[in-house]
Every structure is written in C-alpha cells, then in structure tokens.
Amino acid sequence: MSVQREVKRITVPVIKRMKAQGEPIAMLTAYDTLMAELLDESGVDIILVGDSGGMVMAGHENTLSVTMEEMLHYVKAVRKGVNRALLVADMPFLSYQVSVEEGVRNAGRFLQEGGAEAVKIEGGRSVAPLIERLVEIGIPVMGHLGLTPQSVHLFGGYGVQGKEAEIAEKLKQEAKSLEDAGVFSLVLEKIPARLAKEISENLKIPTIGIGAGKYCDGQVLVSHDMLGLYEKFKPKFVRRYAQLAKTMREAFINYVQDVKQRDFPDDHESY
C-alpha cells in the first residue's frame, strides 16, 4: 500500500513544530542509497545514518569499532537517496569525546562532505559544551540519553537504564541540560516508559523513543531490525514488520537450486 503524504522538505524547525502540533515523528535508519530512497518515499520524517551500521552492515560486535571514514561512506550513500526527510548522522565513538575542537571538525565533515543536515551525539552534561559550540556555528544537534551504546562497557551490557530513582533523576536533569545546550530533539533509549513520559512532558523539544514506551514525541528503530533482516538478536522493543531474512534466504536457495538443475536461465531469459 502506497503512502500518500504532502511532499515537503523536513527541516529542523519542522521537527520542532511537530511536537507543538502533536504530530508523532517517525524515524528509521539507513546506510545505503536504495534503503534511503525507500524510506524517503514512505514518508519517514527523519533518516538516521546510525553507527549501528557497523553492526548490521559491517559485522562489528558493537558500535565502538565504527570509524569516521565508515560513517562518512554511509552518509554519502544515503544522501543520494534522500529528497524529503531530515538526514541525521551519528557521531561515532572517539569522534567527539577527545576535545570540542575535534568534535566540531568531525561534525562539520558530516555536513560538508557527507551532506547531512544534523548530527546525533550520545551523552549528557559532559557533551553540553560541544553541543553549544556546534549550535553556535549552525550545526543542528540531536541528543541521546538512556542506554547509550557507545558506553556499553561502562553499563556492563544493554540493560534498561533509569530504573533506580537516583539514575532516573539524573536522566531528567541531563535531558534539561541538553535542551539548554541547544539540541533540537532527544533520543531516549531503553528507559522505563513512565520516566520517558516525565522527560517528554518537561521538555519543549521533541523526544524520540527507542525502547522508551509510547509517550515520547516520536519513535525510531533500526530498519534492519524492524524488517527482520538482522537476526542475531531481537530486543523486546522491536516490532518486526517483515521477515525479510527468511524471504531472502528462500530466494537464494531457490536460485542455487535452479542453477544446479539448469532451470535458470530458460529460453525466455536468454538472447
């Protein structure tokens, strides 16, 4: 079924207005031109070139191995397929933590070389000075709190964050500090729905949840997860809208069988 929506460019001000107007924000990931085209045509508001590409595309164990050059490769490819959605690039591990100057330089590369329109940065108060500087020079920033995958070793895994009252209060304070620093939106990952609701109600900027319940102002999933392409694990918060890995595997098996039995190509597929 095709999606009929008014074709308009989604910009940072549009995303901000969507919260005020009560319109939920739909965000998904892409790492190549074809996927980007399909998402863009389907009415997705934000396309995130996530560092998750290191896992679902390059086979890394986690996101820590992803480099700036890998991310720039993905962003350039996605840019070619996007005409409508807001394109956001993930800042990979160690691309912004060393210094504000290095963070500014790498964020600028995503806009200048990759064609992104905003960057996403994990972390709370510690990254606020960088966010302030980026916004000051015209680079929009999306924040990211809760389970921040680049801190997986610090957390000891991918568990739910913010269940304890002390941590929940810290997340609320850090969300406000990120808003004050100038982020235009905030991803909340794998935190209790009640906490996400409190944070969303206390902020003027939109929140985008992933494993954070239904009270956020928008939702994001890794496209390969929701399509059933990435089968190594299935988080509770992922809804599988397709089983493409199964479909593709069956197609490959049928192709191999047809070749082995000399059923492909037939006369109609030959010149």
Residue set of the binding site for 3-methyl-2-oxobutanoate: 51-52, 90, 120
Q: Point out the residues that are catalytic.
A: 189
Positions at the binding site for Mg(2+): 51, 90, 122
Indicate the annotated binding residues: 51-52, 90, 120, 122
Structure-derived torsion over alpha carbons of residues 191, 194, 197, 202, reported in degrees to the nearest 10? -100
Angle at 17 between CA 111 and CA 176, to 5 degrees: 75
> Based on the number of CB atoms within 10 Å of its own CB, is 64 exposed (0-12), middle (13-18) or buried (19 or more)?
middle
Distance CA 225, CA 60 (A): 16
Distance CA 209, CA 220 (A): 6
Are residues 103 and 134 in contact, defined by beta-carbon separation less than 8 angstroms?
Answer: yes
Alpha-carbon gap, residue 132 to 54, rounded angstroms = 28
